[in-house]
């Protein structure tokens, strides 16, 4: 995927979110660090354009809720910044790649400590399969069937300082 494909996918996701929830009223967009935050910002900007309102995206760091903390050296925390009260709202989580579903599981736990959303929806740029938990995305930019030996690399201009792209690296060949 190149920059145009990514932009097109995000535009479509934005419209799908609006369609599903009728409008942007009561919708809170939360990105999961690091790249999910930038994607959330872009979706919020597109949404604001369509709806003619301002939409403030947030960030939700799930590090402290992960189930693999004890497998690696302690990680640095990223910012959590939830713009408004999430009680009774529809929260749309945004992440770059959906694979095992464990990050989203952690995010759901983190959300339940912050309040009680009316509903939680999930938007991802890439769904690469290999789910280990019963979790699915509501809005998918692109389904990318991969093998476990491969790596999906997402680059975003704001986070990585290079052109937007999604590529598959290190195929098992």
Partner 1 sequence: MKHLLSAGDLSRDEAVLILDTAEQLLSVAQRPIKKLPTLRGRTIVNLFFEDSTRTRISFEAAAKRLSADVINFSAKGSSVSKGESLKDTALTLQAMGADAVVIRHHASGAPHRLATSEWTKGAVVNAGDGTHEHPTQALLDAFTMRSRLGDLAGKNVTIVGDVLHSRVARSNALLLDTLGANVTLVAPPTLLPVGVETWPVETSYDLDASLEKADAVMMLRVQRERMNASFFPSAREYSRRYGLDVARMNRLPDHAIVLHPGPMNRGMEINADVADSDRSVIVEQVTNGVAVRMAVLYLLLGGATEGETA
> Cβ of residue 31: shortest distance to partner 1, in angstroms?
16
Report residue 87 as tokens. 């009680």
Judged by CB under 8 A, which of 56, 79, 133, 148 binds partner 1? 79
Count Cβ atoms within 10 A of the Cβ of residue 137 and give its class: 0-12 exposed, 13-18 middle, 19 or more buried: buried
Binding of residue 56 to partner 1 (CB under 8 A):
no
| Between 75 and 130, CB nearer to partner 1 | 75
- Cα–Cα nearest to 157, from 1, 34, 3: 3
**Rounded to an integer, what distance in angstroms lies between the CA atom of residue 145 and that of residue 147?**
7
Say which DSSP state 40 is in. H
Q: Of residues 19, 22, 52, 72, which one binds partner 1 by CB under 8 A?
A: 72
Total residues contacting partner 1 by CB under 8 A comes to 19
In the complex, the smallest distance separating the C-beta of residue 147 from partner 1, rounded to whole angstroms, is 24
Q: Which two tokens stand for residue 150?
A: 């491969």
Binding residues for partner 1, rule: CB under 8 A, are 61, 64-65, 69-80, 109, 113-115
């Amino acid at each position: 995927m190149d920059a145009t494909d990514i932009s097109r996918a995000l535009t479509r996701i934005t419209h799908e979110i609006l369609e599903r929830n009728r409008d942007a009223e009561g919708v809170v967009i939360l990105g999961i660090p690091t790249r999910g935050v930038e994607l959330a910002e872009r979706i919020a900007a597109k949404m604001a354009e369509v709806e003619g309102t301002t939409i403030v995206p947030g960030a939700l760091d799930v590090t402290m809720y992960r189930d693999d903390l004890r497998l690696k050296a302690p990680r640095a925390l990223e910012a959590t910044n939830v713009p408004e009260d999430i009680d009774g709202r529809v929260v749309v989580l945004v992440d770059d790649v959906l694979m095992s579903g464990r990050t989203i599981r952690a995010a759901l736990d983190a959300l339940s400590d912050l309040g009680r959303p009316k509903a939680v929806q999930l938007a991802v740029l890439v769904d690469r399969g290999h789910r280990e938990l019963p979790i699915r995305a509501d809005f998918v930019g692109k389904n990318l069937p991969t093998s476990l030996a491969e790596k999906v690399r997402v680059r975003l201009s704001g986070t990585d300082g290079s052109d937007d792209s999604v590529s598959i690296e290190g195929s098992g060949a």
